[in-house]
Structure 1
Amino acid sequence: MEYKILILGNGGREYAIGLHLLKDSRCKKLYFAPGNGGTFHIGENFSFSTHQDLIEKIQKFDINLVIIGPEAYIIDGISDSLRLAGIKVFGPSKKAGILEGSKAYMKDFITRYKVPTASYIQTSDFIKAKEFLETLQSPYVIKADGLCAGKGVIITSNKQEALQSIQEMLSGEKFGNEGKCVVIEEYLDGIELSVFAICDGKDYVLLPACQDHKRLLDNDMGPNTGGMGAYAPAPFCDDNLMKKIANKIIQPTLDGLKQENNPFEGVLFAGIMVRDINGEKEPFLLEYNVRFGDPECEVLMPLLKTPLIDICESVIKREIKKVKIEFYEKSALAVVIASKEYPYTQAKPQKITFNNYDESLGHIVFAGVTMQDKNMIATGGRVLLSVGIGENLKIAKDNAYQIIKSIDFSGMQYRRDIGHRIDEVCK
């Protein structure tokens, strides 16, 4: 069967999915909506205004598979509209999307099903928030309830700053309506992992664990961002730890969703904190997302040996257990190259200059870019990703930073220490 595939979204995640699909001879045409200046070179971009407008364009272009990238489209219910129109779509329902759409709902839900997580309160009352904060030791974790493009989490050791952030969220000054309910959590220290489950509503398969780097600056300093880099596979996530993640976190969550008549179909992304409890690695759930992570997707896609088309089809048919999901025995590391003002404000557009690089090292992923007069322009916060591929993580890291030398634009910033624990792991 030949495929014309639409990828919804405009970031690096969507570009990375497109690059993987292009390797499949069954993929005859790629479309992106709305796409970016990079996806323009590997497929066809188009925009849409309403669900009906999208459906009509899908039908016009004879698109026979839709893959949803960002969470906003899931929360908006696009997958439900497409399914009602008889269009095959890879992405969970709006109802299941609430696991990411509301942090308060997610915390209440996983508490009901005894998934290990940090102690917390969810409230719209500043007095209650302040009282709970007084029971915690620093640092303090404050989360806006709704979607905030990866920027709705504040972690600070300053109590006054924490209280000010709560006040700004509840008033709507910070994050608008998305922050008018807050979740305040106990801070969990440990090693953070990103774990993805491909779910078909009945069964699931876990993908290799990744590690994201959320902080803006080297040595994990500065504000939280949407992610400044990632690598896979994470070598300290052994089989025993993965079994614990499956049995204590993923399985009870999916069982709970089914029990509440809300089966999950698509990618369930678990943000995990691994803590040392009496000499044992124990996983705690930090958050759920209902799609591939960004930048984790950019390191998983080049390692994925099984065609993504087969994975999507198996989920749609509720036959995920019939597909053997395999990965190449290599490693990938991605470094995000961001604009000068990220994540604070939008920077002025800047022309990007590219020089030749050895493509055996890896590749560049295009994210916050547009095309103007045949020039690539940095217009977003996270602009590009340099993805290094190698026989091990050390080589992948070296390759990613080698590729960066071929990229230049005014104000570009990136972390110099993505994978800073790799040297001790790869000895």
Structure 2
Amino acid sequence: MNILVVGSGGREHAVAAKLAEGKARVAVAPGNPGMKDVAMILDIKETDHEGLIQAARELEADLVVIGPEAPLLNGLADDFKAAGFRVFGPDQKAAEIEGSKSFAKNIMEQYQIPTGSYYVTTSYDEAVQHVQNQGAPIVIKADGLAAGKGVTVAMTFEEAEEALADVLLDGKFGEAGAQVVIEEYLEGEELSLMALVHGETVVPLVGAQDHKRAYDADQGPNTGGMGAYSPVPQFTSADVDEAVERVLKPTAQAMVKEGRPFTGVLYAGLMMTTEGPKVIEFNARFGDPEAQVVLPRLTSDLAEVLSELVAGGEPQLEWSDDAVVGVVLAAEGYPASYQKGISVSHLQFSRQTSVYWAGVKTEEDDLVTAGGRVVLVAERAEDLKTAQQKVYDQLQEKTTTGLFYRTDIGDKAIKNASS
């Protein structure tokens, strides 16, 4: 089976690595040089739809897997389908569930999918008035795509006012901030729950928990994710089943009813409240870094699973009971301004360690940083505590000048398990 994966980040590295474990021959475009051990790298940009389609023809691709959200919202899946390819990834209309937070909220409201209350406006003055009426804490979101950085959990009115100014007055997020979504602050613990979806067929994956804040103890600004772990022992199988039945399945059915049938990964960022699961956000693709800790636990052949799903089947998934903990190394300064071009060729790990490269490129035969989140390093073990110890033992042996990482990925779950 020949498979083309579109994307260049750690998520796509994890997807390509899992696909390559089976019998699939995998190519990644544009990829990054860290992926060369698991896939053929094609230097074709995500925006070059014609170039990607031509490459798929030359590869005689049996399946195209689109990783990132931006090409999905730019209609790449639509173009591949029009060219006659089987695609795992939603079309442009379905991808709007991630591309517009107000659209997602409207779907949830219309189909009684549990979430917090919300308010949408393009007016700074109206937004400030709404926050004054509601009080803090409160959540401020740019409506469109902002690479995980357009969200502020404001614990005070002053923080909310500053976040609103960033979005609506200063244009910090460009078109993504043309309007703002102000949401109720939900209390509880987060769960990232993804499913493979084709129309009304929903095949849930195991859960994970992401660490979005830049620094230890959930301090600092929101990022695209600084690490993750799976499983999430704080939640029972009954908790997860409830989320599947109340959130994932109704959402897939709602998209069909709306004339936007969804094919791909439906990601629900959930707050597990005392009233049950409530949706914080939807994504239209694998979470990053969640994919890097969930996919290593999958023992089924991912290529066969995706092919069966898009052909109209309902594949059964098998999972390892092992735990996986993944830690992101990011460029110092991320998610604000940061230096590029830092050499990372020396970051060599044991063969048992899973290493998923993201923001890197080759410069004069040297592997150097080219983005904020550089690499995720993951270890698996029979329990979270052992997996966490293994990954931090690996990292403490390395020189990470110019990079930083959180030292507490998985702490909460491990403390809960031992208490």
| Code of the aligned partner of 1:32 | V
CA distance in 1, matches of 2:307, 2:337: 40
CA distance in 2, matches of 1:314, 1:131: 51
Query: Which residue of 2 is the match for residue 306 of structure 1?
Result: 300
CA shift, 1:356, in A, is: 5.2
Query: Which residue of 1 is the match for residue 285 of structure 2?
Result: 291
CA distance in 2, matches of 1:202, 1:116: 19
CA shift, 1:14, in A, is: 0.6
Candidates 46, 51, 64, aligned match of 1:53: 51
Query: Which residue of 1 is the match for residue 394 of structure 2?
Result: 403
Query: Is the CA contact (8 Å cut-off) linking 2:44 and 2:51 kept in structure 1?
Result: no
Query: Is the CA contact (8 Å cut-off) linking 2:207 and 2:294 kept in structure 1?
Result: no
| Code of the aligned partner of 1:27 | A
Query: Which residue of 1 is the match for residue 406 of structure 2?
Result: 415
Aligned-residue identity in percent: 36
Query: Which residue of 2 is the match for residue 333 of structure 1?
Result: 325
Query: Which residue of 1 is the match for residue 28 of structure 2?
Result: 32
Gaps of 5+ in 1: none
The farther-off stretch of 12-21 and 288-297 is 12-21
CA shift, 1:406, in A, is: 4.4
Q: Secondary structure at the match of 2:377?
A: strand
Candidates 373, 376, 379, aligned match of 1:385: 376
Query: Is the CA contact (8 Å cut-off) linking 1:350 and 1:409 kept in structure 2?
Result: no
Query: Which residue of 2 is the match for residue 344 of structure 1?
Result: 336
| Code of the aligned partner of 1:327 | W
Deviation track 1:318-343 (CA, whole Å, cap 9, x = no partner) reads 212xx210111111010011001100
Over the residues paired in the alignment, what is the CA RMSD in angstroms? 1.6
CA distance in 2, matches of 1:16, 1:170: 36
CA distance in 1, matches of 2:218, 2:294: 22
CA shift, 1:55, in A, is: 1.0
Deviation track 1:18-74 (CA, whole Å, cap 9, x = no partner) reads 1112211x223x211111120234322221453222211211232222111101111
Quickly say closer, same or farther: Cα 1:304–1:22, change in 2 above 3 A: same
Query: Is the CA contact (8 Å cut-off) linking 2:75 and 2:92 kept in structure 1?
Result: yes
Query: Which residue of 1 is the match for residue 40 of structure 2?
Result: 44
Q: Secondary structure at the match of 2:79?
A: helix
CA distance in 2, matches of 1:253, 1:63: 30
Query: Is the CA contact (8 Å cut-off) linking 1:100 and 1:147 kept in structure 2?
Result: yes
CA distance in 2, matches of 1:41, 1:309: 18
Query: Is the CA contact (8 Å cut-off) linking 1:171 and 1:180 kept in structure 2?
Result: no
Query: Which residue of 1 is the match for residue 185 of structure 2?
Result: 187
CA shift, 1:128, in A, is: 2.0
| Code of the aligned partner of 2:288 | D
CA distance in 2, matches of 1:405, 1:397: 12
Q: Secondary structure at the match of 1:408?
A: coil
CA distance in 2, matches of 1:207, 1:367: 23
Query: Is the CA contact (8 Å cut-off) linking 1:212 and 1:231 kept in structure 2?
Result: yes
Deviation track 1:136-190 (CA, whole Å, cap 9, x = no partner) reads 2322211001011111111222323322321331235211111011000111121
Candidates 207, 210, 215, aligned match of 2:208: 210
CA distance in 1, matches of 2:10, 2:81: 26
Query: Which residue of 2 is the match for residue 365 of structure 1?
Result: 356
TM norm structure 1: 0.94
Query: Is the CA contact (8 Å cut-off) linking 1:266 and 1:315 kept in structure 2?
Result: no
CA distance in 1, matches of 2:247, 2:349: 42
Query: Is the CA contact (8 Å cut-off) linking 1:172 and 1:180 kept in structure 2?
Result: no
Query: Which residue of 2 is the match for residue 66 of structure 1?
Result: 64
- The aligned runs of 1:10-409 (5 Å cut-off) are 10-24=8-22, 26-28=23-25, 30-45=26-41, 46-48=43-45, 50-171=48-169, 173-277=171-275, 282-320=276-314, 323-354=315-346, 357-360=349-352, 362-409=353-400
The farther-off stretch of 331-340 and 121-130 is 121-130
Deviation track 1:331-387 (CA, whole Å, cap 9, x = no partner) reads 101001100110001323201153654433x22211111122222112210001110
CA distance in 1, matches of 2:348, 2:101: 44
CA distance in 1, matches of 2:57, 2:347: 40
The farther-off stretch of 121-130 and 213-222 is 121-130
Query: Is the CA contact (8 Å cut-off) linking 1:200 and 1:314 kept in structure 2?
Result: no
CA distance in 2, matches of 1:31, 1:146: 30
The farther-off stretch of 166-175 and 73-82 is 166-175
Query: Is the CA contact (8 Å cut-off) linking 2:135 and 2:157 kept in structure 1?
Result: no
CA shift, 1:197, in A, is: 1.4
CA shift, 1:87, in A, is: 1.0
Q: Secondary structure at the match of 2:245?
A: helix
Query: Is the CA contact (8 Å cut-off) linking 1:392 and 1:426 kept in structure 2?
Result: no
CA distance in 2, matches of 1:143, 1:32: 32
Deviation track 1:100-151 (CA, whole Å, cap 9, x = no partner) reads 0000111111011111111110111222211211122322211001011111
CA distance in 1, matches of 2:55, 2:344: 32
CA distance in 2, matches of 1:412, 1:167: 30
CA shift, 1:247, in A, is: 2.2
| Code of the aligned partner of 1:268 | L
| Code of the aligned partner of 1:365 | Y
State the number of aligned residues.
416
Gaps of 5+ in 2: none
Query: Is the CA contact (8 Å cut-off) linking 1:353 and 1:408 kept in structure 2?
Result: no
